[in-house]
């Protein structure tokens, strides 16, 4: 018979696969909008600032949703909560395919953002239940590759689907995909190694942790305000590239969606390389989060400089530079949204910390998308690139301060001596 240890190893790998797939399909049903936006602009005659409202509404609600759902994710069954989120993601995509007015689509996609925010925090909590602390870097890197799969599905298929069947199917195909998968998730996932896979009246209540402390004290103790500033920088640029990337390439190079989507597909490939490179750096640099994130931000900034000055006559160069920026920020995202929250499992705050960091990142993205839409209409794409450079510079500064604060905290620890009167 199979040993208990071997069964546990196989079970946690199966749990990881289910988590990987649910987030890949959630991303498929999310970044499809990047490919659909240029077609909506063409069909309905909407301006760039108008279609920017669709992305802004999503990011604002998505960010606020992470605050709410991150907190709830530490209290309830991730299995059922993620199922509900995935099911509603599917419904919102199906409804979006019927929307023919800008206000209606803005509302549907904003509500869709809340449903999307139900996935990440509870999923990270499930993974932290199954994997030991020493594996957090590898697990965070591996689960982040699911985002790349979502990009491949969306940026690789949606353009072809729309060319054949129209923009509505750009919403409907991802919607039906995650709808079907949500039931597979429900039948196969388990919140922790100690929990039954069957539903009981008590299964919505997650396992408690006696060592939980207030979030405010936890954040102050771990200098998370600097991490939050880095999340703002990452959110502005990474999500800006996600939303505007295809349109930037098409408008700057005068291309149409049918002739550009295969070339743009290089960006998800580079995102995968960026995530794997970050995992390699984490191993080589002993999980030095601040240094890894600083390297990622600096490299992304150099790529944005290249887009400002050197991409005017080459489509391939534009895609490569945009891909480098996107890849490095996806790598930083692995640390900020995956590895760092998993450090807080012992406080029973994994989902809450992931929710806070995601929330700040996407609220910043929502505000920046609105600003970017206006900048594009009034000043062209160079104004947006300068905006991104300023944001990345702020992120590097935050990481320098975080590193200094961490070193100061480490120096204070040996100074604490036992009280001889005890």
Dump pLDDT digits (tens) for 54-93: 888 898 898 899 889 888 887 888 899 999 999 999 999 9
Query: CA nearest 356: which of 67, 118, 128?
Result: 67
CA-CA-CA-CA torsion for 284, 231, 21, 104, nearest 10 degrees?
-160
**Alpha helix segments (H runs only) across 313-349:** 315-333, 340-342
Q: 6 or 195: which carries more pLDDT confidence? A: 195
Q: 265 or 181: which carries more pLDDT confidence? A: 181
Q: What is the rounded distance in angstroms from the CA atom of residue 312 to the CA atom of residue 119?
A: 39
Model confidence at 11, pLDDT cuts 50, 70, 90, reads confident
Q: What is the pLDDT of residue 206?
A: 45
In this model, does residue 419 exceed pLDDT 50?
no
Model confidence at 94, pLDDT cuts 50, 70, 90, reads very high
Model confidence at 3, pLDDT cuts 50, 70, 90, reads low
Q: What is the rounded distance in angstroms from the CA atom of residue 90 to the CA atom of residue 83?
A: 11
Three-state DSSP class for residue 417: coil
pTM listed for this prediction? 0.73
- 305 with 362: CB under 8 angstroms? no
Query: CA nearest 31: which of 170, 144, 131, 134?
Result: 170
- 386 with 240: CB under 8 angstroms? no
Q: What is the rounded distance in angstroms from the CA atom of residue 100 to the CA atom of residue 44?
A: 8
**180 CB-near residues (< 8 Å, 6+ apart):** none
Taken in order of first residue, the domains within the chain and their CATH numbers are 13-191+213-412 (1.20.1250.20)
- 82 with 181: CB under 8 angstroms? no
Model confidence at 308, pLDDT cuts 50, 70, 90, reads confident
What is the number of alpha carbons within 13 Å of residue 233 lying toward its C-beta?
29
Q: For the chain, what's the residue count?
A: 422
Q: What is the pLDDT of residue 268?
A: 82
Three-state DSSP class for residue 205: strand
Number of alpha helices (DSSP H) and beta strands (DSSP E) in the chain: 16, 0
Which of 26-35, 301-310, 381-390, 412-421 shows the lowest mean pLDDT across its residues? 412-421
Q: 204 or 115: which carries more pLDDT confidence? A: 115
pLDDT in tens, 376-403: 778 778 888 999 999 999 999 999 999 8
Q: What is the rounded distance in angstroms from the CA atom of residue 30 to the CA atom of residue 10?
A: 30
Tell me the two tokens of residue 398.
Answer: 């935050």
Q: Which residue has the tokens 């800006």?
A: 240
In this model, does residue 415 exceed pLDDT 70?
no
Q: What is the mean pLDDT of residues 229-241?
A: 91
């Amino acid at each position: 018979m199979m040993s208990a240890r071997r069964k546990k190893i196989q079970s946690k790998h199966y749990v990881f696969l289910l988590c990987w797939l649910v987030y890949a399909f959630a991303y498929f049903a999310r970044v499809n909008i990047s490919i659909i936006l240029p077609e909506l602009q063409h069909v309905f005659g909407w301006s760039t600032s108008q279609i920017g409202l669709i992305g802004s509404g999503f990011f604002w609600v998505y960010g606020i949703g992470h605050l709410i759902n991150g907190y709830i994710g530490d209290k309830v069954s991730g299995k059922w909560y993620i199922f509900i989120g995935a099911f509603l993601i599917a419904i919102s995509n199906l409804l979006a395919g019927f929307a023919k007015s800008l206000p209606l689509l803005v509302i549907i996609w904003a509500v869709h953002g809340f449903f999307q925010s139900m996935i990440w925090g509870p999923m990270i909590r499930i993974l932290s239940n199954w994997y030991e602390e020493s594996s957090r870097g590898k697990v965070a890197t591996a689960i982040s590759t699911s985002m790349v799969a979502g990009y491949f599905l969306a940026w690789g298929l949606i353009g072809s689907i729309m060319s054949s069947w129209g923009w509505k199917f750009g919403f409907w195909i991802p919607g039906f995909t995650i709808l079907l998968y949500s039931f597979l998730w429900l039948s196969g996932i388990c919140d922790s190694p100690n929990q039954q896979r069957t539903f009981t009246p008590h299964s919505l209540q997650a396992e408690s942790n006696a060592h939980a402390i207030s979030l405010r004290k936890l954040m102050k103790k771990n200098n998370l305000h600097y991490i939050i500033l880095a999340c703002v920088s990452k959110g502005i640029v990474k999500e800006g590239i996600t939303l505007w990337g295809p349109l930037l390439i098409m408008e700057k190079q005068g291309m149409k969606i049918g002739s550009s989507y295969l070339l743009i597909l290089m960006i998800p490939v580079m995102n995968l390389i960026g995530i794997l490179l970050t995992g390699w750096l984490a191993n080589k640099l002993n999980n030095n989060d601040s240094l890894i994130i600083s390297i990622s931000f600096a490299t992304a900034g150099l790529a944005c400089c290249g887009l400002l000055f050197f991409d005017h006559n080459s489509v391939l160069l534009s895609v490569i530079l945009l891909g480098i920026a996107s890849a490095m920020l996806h790598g930083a995202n692995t640390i900020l949204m995956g590895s760092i929250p998993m450090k807080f499992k012992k406080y029973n705050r994994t989902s809450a910390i992931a929710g806070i960091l995601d929330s700040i990142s996407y609220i910043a993205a929502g505000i920046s998308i609105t600003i970017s839409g206006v900048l594009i209409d009034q000043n062209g794409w160079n104004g947006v690139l300068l905006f991104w450079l300023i944001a990345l510079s702020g992120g590097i500064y935050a990481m320098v301060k975080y590193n200094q604060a961490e070193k100061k905290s480490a120096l204070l620890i040996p100074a604490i001596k036992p009280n001889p009167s005890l």
